[in-house]
Amino acid sequence: MSYFFETNPLRKKALLWEVAGLTSILIVEMIFTYNRVLYGVDFALISLPAEGGYRIYSGQIPFRDFHTPAGLPLFYMLAGFFYITGGFSFKAVALYSAVMGAVGTLAVFAILRLNLGGVASLIFSGATAMTLFMPRSHPWLDETAILFYILALTAFSFAYRFREQLSSVQITTLAILSGLTLTASIFEKHNIGLTAFTFTVPLWFFVSFGKDTKLFNRVKGFGICLFSTLFTSLLLIVYFESKGNFFSDISQSTGMMPRLLILLPNAAIKEWLLRDWGRIVFVVYVTVVTLLACFSHLLKLKPKEIFKERGIVSIIISLMAVSYVGHLSSESGGINAFALSGLLLGLLYAMLSKFKDISGNIVVDHIRISNFCFATGLIALAVFLLWWITYLTDFADIVMLKGASTPGRTKVADMPFLIIMLSLACMLFTLGFLCRLPDKRFCSDMKNIFLGSRIFVIILALSPIIYFEYAGGVCKTAIARLLMPFKNISSVQVKFKDIPALNGVYSDKKIVGDIQGLVSWLHPKIDADPTLKNGTGIYVFPHGTSLYGILGVESFRNAYLWLSYKLTFNQLDPDTEEIINQSPKFIVLYNYASPYDPLKRLSLMPMPKLEKVLLEDYSLAAQFGDFLVFQKKYSVGK
């Protein structure tokens, strides 16, 4: 801890360079993320978090005024950003993503800096900045849940690193903070939060109160963290149940339980191989386990010796567990799969540094070096082959698997990465064979082995960034979006005009025209009839619900925040009874992925009763591209 209060001029200079480097990373990350949201906005996807925040900003209470099984911390924080910025706007949503991404990067840097040097910490923190909030063009539940988990690990890391210097009050405070952030993670996304809780609370067994490491002193931290999580969770449950239907809404997501079968090894490996991003994630897992095992074998380390670094090892295990459950059991898939890879590989790099520190006192035989080279060479070869399969061939055709998502095209930008991985694999295999020859003088120094391993880990940590930039689809164009303000993009993206909530936002020409037409059509009717603003006059479904905030009307009350069968509701017609009771004057249907025929659209929705209501009681009053506006028949012409 004294490092942060260093008076030595050389140390102070190094600290200043670290601060400058970290500040630069945070600034670039915030600019990238902010522009990533505002330029080329996907109206359907951004609407869910924006609408959740807008409902709370408008005074609605979850589980009473609207129904959702998850996402509460995200919605409350977004409401705070709306309040700070003076009202609902997509700029506030973009600002949330930028700020929360910076907080996550800062927390990752803190964890790594407690175990690593400044330069390495900056490299892996920079990789995290590019893979946490930046890839997605809108805030989402997964990244927010992961952020709270990272904050819980940060509190533990500080307590563990300075356990002998901190007072009991300070350790207690950190344990409580860890518990509170775990509560937030649980309420944000259950699959991520509960896994984070399971693998983070036990870490506090390693933190003792004072220098006495007896069991009772170590149980204190565990008990405090556990109690703060359970107590705050219970308080929130009691509060929300007293206000509405907490248990009923949460139980709706039980329909997703069968998806947990994908966590079984056979299903998990198939899922990894079916997805282009999955192959990279698979290599990350293999790399962490194999390198730790290889160096343990190389240095003849016993489990007891490895566990001396139990702080790093236990966090690595926790990160792998949360990553494993989080991205396999989530429909978000490819994006949040990389959210923790920078921190995970950074801690692996720290562990390699620890191994290097003890390697000078150990005599290593050349057969072990040979085995090490063969094993690590296989990792490098696997990286090459899986990347090659992803980008240069159609993997689905090779293994005859259905459902694979592969770009299937050559990218010149990938060639340097492929060449590096193949060269590294060949070098390691060659070294493995040479180590078994009689003349072993060339490999008597361990320095190059550690250097090569750590360079490989850095390259692997940067590989998701290459993926996001060149894989195509929704993950692409972080850099392109950063440069958009400086380019002429009028031929591709169009800026919204005369809509305050969408000021400074760019999107596809068609969607901009559709929304501006819809808003222009509805605004005079809202101004003429104030009852349309009270949360019962307009109903928007199943996508694009941020229209409520854009129009400046209260969101339709007692409705589901988003409609996802077996995730947010388990029975047909989730909102239909409330629609019949409230009889809204206008119903706006937005289903951007379907044909224009409204009946065909409705046949895709698990709401047959609502379809009947629309046909009998409503008429199609207007259509703006993918937006269909139905008006109550008795009010037509009024």
Identify whether residues 348 and 459 lie together within a single domain.
Answer: yes
Question: What is the pLDDT, as a whole number, of residue 81?
Answer: 97
Q: Is residue 4 part of a domain?
A: no
Distance of CA 103 to the CA centre of its chain: 13
Nearest CA to 511 among 90, 57, 88, 31? 90
Cβ 411 vs Cβ 359: under 8 Å: no
Q: Is residue 66 part of a domain?
A: yes
Q: What are phi and psi of 71, to 5 degrees?
A: 90, 5
Per-10-residue mean pLDDT for the chain, 638 residues long?
50 83 93 84 88 95 92 96 95 95 96 92 92 84 94 95 88 95 95 94 85 74 94 96 91 77 79 71 84 85 80 92 82 70 92 80 74 87 78 46 39 66 86 75 64 83 70 48 53 81 88 93 92 91 91 93 82 87 92 47 64 89 91 69
Specify whether the CB–CB gap between 545 and 48 falls below 8 A: yes
Nearest to 96 by CA among 126, 59, 53: 53
Are residues 567 and 584 both part of a single domain?
yes
**Is 542 in the same domain as 519?**
yes
Any domain includes 5 = no
Structure tokens at 232: 């705050």
Structure tokens at 292: 């730790």
85 and 199 co-located in one domain: no
Dihedrals φ, ψ of 604, to 5°? Answer: -85, -15
Q: At what angle do helices 90-113 and 43-57 cross, to 10 degrees?
A: 90
Whole-Å CA distances, 2 to 11, 107, 112, 114, 169: 11, 19, 17, 12, 20
Global pTM reads 0.89
Q: Where are the beta strands (DSSP E) in 243-313?
A: none
Instruction: Please indicate, yes or no, whether residues 280 and 369 belong to a single structural domain of this protein.
Output: yes
Dihedral angle sign, alpha carbons of residues 494, 499, 502, 508:
negative
Q: At what angle do helices 310-328 and 265-274 cross, to 10 degrees?
A: 70
User: Angle, to 10 degrees, between the axis of helix 415-434 and the axis of helix 447-470?
Assistant: 160
Is residue 201 domain-shared with residue 319, that is, in the same domain? no
Structure tokens at 482: 């950063």
pLDDT, residue 159, reads 93
Does 9 reside within a domain? Answer: no
Query: DSSP labels for 44-74?
Result: HHHHHHHHHHHHHHTT--BTTTEE-SS-HHH
Domain-embedded: residue 1: no
Give the contacts of 259 (CB within 8 A, at least 6 positions apart). 329
Distance between CA 479 and CA 490 in Å, rounded?
18
Per the structure, how many domains does the chain have? 4
Residue 303 neighbours by CB under 8 Å, 6+ apart? none
Residues 462 and 419 in one domain: yes
What are the backbone dihedrals phi and psi of residue 442, each rounded to the nearest 5 degrees, phi first? Answer: -70, -20
How far apart CA 309 and CA 527 sit, in angstroms, is 66
In a domain, 256, yes or no: no
Residues recorded for the chain: 638
- Give the domain-ending residue among 116, 139, 162: 139
| Statement to judge: residues 607 and 481 lie in one domain | no
Radius of gyration, CA atoms only, the chain = 27
The answer to whether residues 107 and 125 touch, using CB atoms and an 8 Å cutoff, is no
pLDDT at 330: 72
**pLDDT value of position 552:** 93
Q: What's the CATH code of the domain at 509?
A: 3.40.50
Which residue segment(s) compose the domain that 36 sits in? 15-139
Task: Return d(Cα 538, Cα 559) in angstroms, integer.
Answer: 12
Asked whether 354 and 312 are in contact (CB, 8 A), the reply is: yes
Q: Find the DSSP H helices in 114-214.
A: 118-131, 141-161, 168-188, 190-200
Please tell me whether residues 387 and 444 are part of one structural domain: yes
Instruction: For residue 77, count CB atoms less than 10 angstroms from its CB and return exposed for 0-12, middle for 13-18, buried for 19 or more.
Output: buried
Residue 19, exposed/middle/buried by CB under 10 A (0-12, 13-18, 19+)? exposed
Identify whether 300 is part of a domain.
yes
| Contact assessment for residue 185 and residue 167, using Cβ atoms and an 8 Å cutoff | no
Are 546 and 54 contacting, i.e. CB atoms less than 8 angstroms apart?
yes
The pLDDT score that the predictor gives to residue 601 is: 44
Rounded Cα distance, 381 and 375, in Å: 10
Residue 111 maps to a domain: yes
Residues 297, 221, single domain; the answer is no
pLDDT for 401: 38
512 and 403 share a domain? Answer: no
pLDDT tens digits along 77-105 = 999 999 999 999 999 999 999 999 999 99
Q: Are residues 122 and 178 in the same domain?
A: no
Q: What does 507-520 look like in DSSP terms, one character per residue?
A: EEHHHHHHHHHHHH
Which among 110, 139, 168 is the end of a domain? 139
Q: Are strands 66-67 and 559-560 parallel, antiparallel or unpaired?
A: parallel
Cis? peptide before 608, omega within 30° of 0? no
Residue where a domain terminates, one of 104, 139, 174: 139
Q: Read off the DSSP letter of residue 394.
A: -
